[in-house]
Structure 1
Amino acid sequence: MTKEVKNVPDLRFPGFENTWETKKLHQIVDVKDGTHESPKPTDDGYLLVTSKNLKNSTLDFSESYSISKEDYEDINKRSKVEIGDILFGMIGTIGNPILLEKDGFAIKNVALLKTSSLQEREYILNFLKSNSITKQFYKLNVGGTQKFISLRSIRDLKIDIPSSEEAIKIGGFFNKLDRQIELEEQKLSLLEEQKKGYMQQIFSQKLHFKDENGKDYPLWEIKKLGELYKVVMGQSPKSINYTDDNSHPVLVQGNADIYNGNIFPRMYTKEITKLVKKGDILLTVRAPVGEIGIAQFEACMGRGVCSIEGNKFIYYFLEMFGIQNKWQKLSQGSTFESISGNEVRNIEIPIPSPSEREKISDFFSELDHLINMHSQKVDELKLRKQGFLQKMFV
């Protein structure tokens, strides 16, 4: 006799044992979509949101443009956006559902899900982020050069429905978890902004450290980077010598090879051209210019980077240099965004006494440590959420 397989998740709240019911999305919520036309941009009016504006569970209006009142009203006849609706990307960025906290804009190539129940809304939002939806996308073979999912396919997505009481508990659980993630992200953002503020104040010498006796340190001297530290420009090996064999040195060619201030190994090389030593500063010198890191091991440098025999003080100064967009100003005028070795060597740097330099470096190192701890906490919470999304839905 075949054992009955129940339609239930791996992880449930105590007290719930009933089998979940499978329905199609359009049986639960009203599913529409925005325009597929391209309304003419205007200088002012109403914003037009597309799938690319759906990012990390929020709406990013930075790449949207305005359309006329007439076009806005015409689009709203079929898909009026309201607070509490769910948006779902249909082209390019598929999925990435977002619960709306504002309205007053139109949509293009975006699905619009409407339901009057708050609890139902929160449950559906998180179900659309679950592994179940990812698997359905895979079966639909959503992909190709331009990813696209039709409105009919979205309406026919299968969604497993628990009892109202269990759905409310699940929705409330993820709502609290999302709020916790949001608060930690706000703390992280505040710390990062504080660091930028301290950099501006300290390197402009508006904020000073005192010595052990409470007295001011000596005035800072202005020096050129090349007068103090050796700058080595990278040189790319022949591509025939690129390899995936990690027994060879790591090849650092540009910003894709630097992540979170460290080398991120992607490729290796059999041919050694220019080397960056462990502890040296790495700086990207070709588009984009200004990404920095500290080499945690010896590596080969391609022509997109250079090394600087500096220290933590110089590293933080160069980070501030980037915050002030000075790399972009330095690279302006060239056909291809880049800076030369001489331009790097001629950067003027205010140099404090060795004792004050050490205090500044220690201050920013401690701040970085605090930022990294908060960043790890955010990552852990997001990873935890992904685990719950996989286990708490069928």
Structure 2
Amino acid sequence: MSDATTSETTPAASSAPYTLWQLVGYMLGLGTWGFGGPVALVGYMYRDLVEKRRWITEGDYKEGMAIAQLMPGPLAAQLAIYLGFVHYRVLGATLVGLAFVLPSFLMVVAIGMAYVSYGGIGWMQSVFYGVGAAVIGIIAMSAWKLTSKNIGRDKLLWAIFAVSAIVTIVTQSEEIWLFIGAGVLVWLWRVPPAWLQRGGRGGAQAVAAPLLAMFALEAVDPAKLAKIATYFAYAGSFVFGSGLAIVPFLYSGVVKEYAWLNDRQFVDAVAVAMITPGPVVITTGFIGFLVQGFWGAVVAAAATFLPCYLLTIIPAPYFKKHGKRPAIVAFVDGVTAAAIGAIAGAVVVIGQRSITDWITALIAIVTAAVLWRFKKIPEPVIVAASAAIGLVVHPLIAHV
């Protein structure tokens, strides 16, 4: 390690209540068993790192959520990268980001190999039938915990939360202008700048709103790899919100513009992302594998995550240096309220796709009830049970 790197990580690391490798180990585990998509993943990080282990402060978590919402890219991956930066700077952000993404990447590559070898995965629909419903219960509980802990009794934050949830449900997307507007609104309301204060309090109120073969390079088309890199880097740079927001964007490019996949293959790619742990955006790795094998998966995943990595660590020092100023705290509170509202809205949006009959509705309700009553039951156990139910029940009702 160079002196520059040492000086960059040592001061903050000296006050950390955990080692870098402990955090890397946690993120590696979360990337391995963290089902439920971005909404559930950010909830797990809050529960485990803020509430239980107290490795991360409430303020640092909120700053991470603010950056993740304001910058393009996958929400959960950006939050993980920022939390790695908090005490261990660029080295921490890099190792934590890799640990969080690597397990799900390896899983989608393995599934991609099976998919190509056996001409599709028929059982996937049955698994997703059960897991998709359980995921709704998991993310609903995560959204409730984030809401009850961060919104409190602040009427302004509740109003922002409600507006954000409604906009997310109606538009079925997460709007960057809403997060920025919420941050500015709370800033102007709580800590109005001098030029606004001269107009009195009313001035602030008026501003409201096959394993070896897959590594072979001879079958790789360099031109197509370059096109994959360019497209997925663009997708990772300009799509805001959670990983779910990238799905319609990918469809327009991967299916409509480039015709790399057909409709069925694209739906299967999204399903793979939903039934595997880790960030939903890892679906780009599966798509890349179908287009250009292993190296296509590597290029697609790396191109997607590199922009969000850079757009997290570049503004991170500013947040760490100035994040305690009242105006910044107010801005972050507003963005956080809007983000949690969007997460709550996403529960409804995803539920519309996953809750298709009374059986899936029952699975979702039972999942939420079990997590509410038995807080120590690990989510992977519930996901495995739901997958088993799907494998048994779905084939039966499909033939009715």
User: With structure 2 as the length reference, what TM-score do the two structures score?
Assistant: 0.20
Structure with more of its chain in strand, by fraction: 1
As a proportion of its length, which structure holds more helix?
2
Compute the TM-score of the two structures, normalised by the length of structure 1: 0.20
Larger Rg: 1
- Give the structure, 1 or 2, with the largest relative contact order (CA under 8 Å, sep 6 or more): 2
